[in-house]
Amino acid sequence: MHDVTRDLSEAVATSGVQTGLCTVFISHTSASLTIQEGADPDARRDLEDFLARLVPEGDPLYTHTAEGPDDMPSHIRSALTATSLSIPIANGRMALGTWQHVFLWEHRRRGSSRHVFVHVLGTS
């Protein structure tokens, strides 16, 4: 899980929008987005471990295995989390709660370069 909150905050600040909506979209099927506890790295590790156990590698159920043992679980983990998130903007900032950070969740063992789109709308 990679914290992208600062990048998003900068995009919102640059836009000059005071009241509006920030939509985040990841253009991949083996990585996803989530808003989670940003303070304690243990919480993130538990999340990763839980999802890895829930959707394990090497499950005999999988038939789509040509791209490696971490490929099919990465699709399922993506489907169970979020591909898009919409966050209100108030007073020029994302209205995130005290503990909320936005994470790009890489589901492959070795992710390649990832792209996230940020769409900001509103009034300045």
- By CB under 8 A, name the binding residues for a second copy: 20-21, 23, 25, 27-29, 34-37, 40, 42-43, 45-47, 49-51, 53-55, 59, 61-64, 72, 75-76, 78-88, 90, 95-97, 99-100, 115, 117, 119, 121
In the complex, least distance from residue 8 CB atom to a second copy, rounded to whole angstroms: 13
In the complex, least distance from residue 26 CB atom to a second copy, rounded to whole angstroms: 8
Left (φ > 0), alpha (ψ -120 to 50) or beta: where does 22 sit?
Answer: beta
Q: Determine how many CB atoms are found less than 10 A away from the CB of residue 8.
A: 21
Helix boundaries (H) for the chain = 5-15, 41-54, 71-80
Minimum CB distance to a second copy smaller for 43 or for 92? 43
Minimum CB distance to a second copy smaller for 4 or for 28? 28
Minimum CB distance to a second copy smaller for 84 or for 109? 84
**Torsions phi, psi of 45, nearest 5?**
-65, -40
Closest CA to 82 of 59, 40, 116: 116
In the complex, least distance from residue 66 CB atom to a second copy, rounded to whole angstroms: 8
In the complex, least distance from residue 88 CB atom to a second copy, rounded to whole angstroms: 4
- 72-108 burial: b if 16+ Cβ within 10 Å, else e: bbbbbbbeebeeebebebeeeebebeeeebbbbbbbb
Minimum CB distance to a second copy smaller for 37 or for 70? 37
